[in-house]
Amino acid sequence: MKVGIVGAGSIAFGAAAYLENAGHRAMLWSPSGERTKRLATGEALIASGALEGTFHPAVAGSAQQLVEANDVLMIALPGYGHKAVMDAIAPFIREGQAVLISSHASFGALYLNRLLAERGIVVPIVAWGTTVTTGRQPSLVEAQVNTVRSKVDVATVPESLSAEGLSVCQTLFGDRFVQRDGILAIALSNLNPQNHMGIALCNMTRMEHGETWPQGLNVTPNVGRLLEELDRERIAIAEALGLKVRDIFEHFHLSFHVPKDSVSAMNQEMHREGRGGTGPATADSRYVTEDVPFGLLMTVKLGELTGRPAVLHDAGVRIFSAMYGRDFAAENTLLDAIGMSDLSLERLRQLARDGFEVSTEARAAS
């Protein structure tokens, strides 16, 4: 299959390498054009680590070219870029063209669904709870793939197209996907925001000084306990919604193949095995700039709707805002775009299940 990837960072490069290695054709689109310049001249993409090889993904010059040239689309860039790229690709998406969001943030699937509903278009929009690959981008022609996850939670909007969405994921990335109970479950299945909050908060001076530091080793017992308490808030919200999601212990066990133990002990084991990863070497890291406004804030909002206050998550938004001198809560444009503050819990459940209504006029025009 031909897959158009929106983005050109570490996750997009890892996905392109995976797809090419599996016999599919990948095309990358960098909204700025800067991150694909070298690939556009014919240089190869070199993957190392958990996936090795030399690949030649195509490069799109525009959103329109990317959409029109491919069977499936995949959004693989930080959450703060989702609204802009959804605005760019939505006018060209055709009926039945599946869109994968790797990974889903702040109900972006609903925003894209609304844009398409206004055109009378319905497609499977598959929200991933996390990414298939993890890694770094040593250069603009390299993908260092640290992990290929064995399990990834997914859900499709609208739910009526779930079988089609799951089939596309399996065709492209293999039998690693677990169908969850809608995007509310996916919203509460992404542990990166809470985990990155604890790790960044407790290692901020290392980040600001640009140090090279082992992440797994520095999830010490106190840091691990903070992550576990953050996780209890997330689980309480899921239970209030009647949803079953993996806890943090299952997450590390299944994603990183280590025996269940305390969060700190599992991270120490990952470090001993050489799979603990390297922490951010800059304060300008997605651990904060993406995960605080587009991850922590969403959990806070769901906590408010369900009557299960996420006080530690809320504290994280406020503390990082104070540290960075910016209002991270105001930076989430996706929640405002779907009118989150005006939604009742019942209306949010209905949208998560069925998506936005397609008007008769829009359907006729399409």
Tokens matching residue 188? 């509460």
Domain endpoint, select from 132, 161, 181: 181
So what's the pLDDT on residue 365? 64
Kindly state whether residue 342 falls inside one of the protein's structural domains: no
Q: Is 338 part of any domain?
A: no
Specify whether 175 is located in the same domain as 249: no
Q: How confident is the model at residue 62 (pLDDT cuts 50, 70, 90)?
A: very high
Looking at the structure, do residues 39 and 165 belong to the same domain, yes or no?
yes
Check whether residue 197 and residue 172 sit in a common domain.
no
- 212: helix, coil or strand? coil
Whether 41 is in a domain gets the answer yes
CA of 29: how far to CAs of 6, 141, 235, 282, in Å?
Answer: 5, 14, 36, 25
* Position 17 in a domain: yes
| pLDDT band, residue 360 (cuts 50/70/90) | low
3-state secondary structure 84-150: HHHHHHHHHCCCCCCEEECCCCCCHHHHHHHHHHCCCCCCCEEEECCCCEEEECCCCCEEEEEEECC
Residues 278 and 307 in one domain: yes
| Number of domains within the chain | 2
CATH number for the domain that contains residue 62: 3.40.50.720
Q: Are 111 and 343 in contact (CB under 8 A)?
A: no
Residue with tokens 């779907």: 338
pLDDT of residue 305 exceeding 90: yes
Domain closes at, from 181, 203, 230: 181
Which H or E run contains 2? strand 2-6
Note whether 92 and 121 are same-domain residues: yes
202 in the same domain as 121: no
Inside any domain, residue 345: no
User: Both 305 and 246 in a single domain?
Assistant: yes
pLDDT tens profile 90-124: 999 999 999 999 989 999 999 999 999 999 999 99
362, pLDDT greater than 90? no
The DSSP code sequence of 31-78 is SSSGGGHHHHTTPPEEEEESS-EEE--EE-SSHHHHHHT-SEEEE-S-
Give the chain's length. Answer: 366
Residue that wins the pLDDT comparison between 359 and 305 = 305
- Check whether residue 198 and residue 151 sit in a common domain: no
**Residue 38 sits in which domain range?**
2-181
The residue behind tokens 């290692």 is: 203
Q: Is 221 helix (H, G, I), strand (E, B) or coil?
A: helix
Instruction: Report yes or no on whether pTM surpasses 0.75.
Output: yes
Q: Are residues 255 and 175 part of one domain?
A: no
pLDDT at 256: 86
Domain CATH for 205: 1.10.1040.10
Lowest mean pLDDT among 45-49, 199-203, 232-236, 362-366: 362-366
The pLDDT, as a whole number, for residue 74 is 98
The answer to whether position 347 is within a domain reads no
